């Protein structure tokens, strides 16, 4: 009985960990950078953040653009 309970608790903890990780990864902004100049073109915000090229986030998904 105790072994089944531990497996259940482990399964619930694993699911919660995965959901928390996906939630965090989905809220990181996307910074579009020009391939030719290497300069920021725009920042796409997810969630309730308000970043721009002048106010760049500390962590972001780097996307190359033309």
Q: What's the predicted TM-score (pTM) here?
A: 0.59
| pLDDT one-digit tens code per residue, 17-42 | 898 877 776 678 989 999 999 899 99
Q: How far is the C-alpha of 9 from the C-alpha of 33, rounded, in Å?
A: 44
**Which candidate, 38, 25, 46, places its Cα nearest to that of 65?**
38
Q: What is the pLDDT of the chain when averaged over all its residues?
A: 86
Q: Say what the pLDDT of residue 1 is.
A: 66
> Given this model, what pLDDT does residue 66 score?
82
3-state SS of 26-50 is HCCCEEEEECCCCCEEEEECCCCCC
3-state secondary structure of 61: strand
Q: Which pLDDT score is estimated for 25?
A: 66
The pLDDT, as a whole number, for residue 12 is 92
Which residues, 6 or more positions from 31, have their beta carbon under 8 angstroms from its beta carbon?
Answer: 40, 42, 43, 44, 51, 53, 56, 57, 60, 61, 62, 63
């Amino acid at each position: 009985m105790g072994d089944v309970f531990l497996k259940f608790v482990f399964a619930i903890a694993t699911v919660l960990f995965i959901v928390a990780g996906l939630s965090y990864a989905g809220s990181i902004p996307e910074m579009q950078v020009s391939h030719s100049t290497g300069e920021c073109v725009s920042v796409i915000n997810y969630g309730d953040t308000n970043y721009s090229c002048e106010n760049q986030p500390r962590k972001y998904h780097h996307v190359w653009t033309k």
